[in-house]
Amino acid sequence: MEIRYYLAQFVAIFSELIWLAILIRVIMSWIQPVKPTGGFTGIIFEVTEPILSFFRRIVPRLGMIDISPIVALLVINFISELLLKIIL
């Protein structure tokens, strides 16, 4: 029983960290729209780019608006909830 609890905690915390990193990336893109090269912004970029690039290939742009982060956040939330229901 405890292993399932710890696994559920890991899934919940991991999905929240990824969710937060994507949200920070979106806010950073409003402030500094260029590709960061190092430091905190570089870490955020390196963590989120594989996820966002996947969704950019699937989700079409709406003019100048990139909605791939919104879709990514929704899918991450859905997968996290599904995994938590399976684990618990």
50: closest CA among 79, 27, 76? 76
Helices 39-58 + 2-31 axis angle, to 10: 100
39-63 exposure pattern, b = at least 16 Cβ within 10 A, e = fewer: eebeebbeebeebbeebbeebeeee
The answer to whether the Cα torsion of 74, 77, 51, 22 is positive or negative is positive
What pLDDT is attached to residue 1?
65
**4-10 mean pLDDT:** 96
**51-55 mean pLDDT:** 96
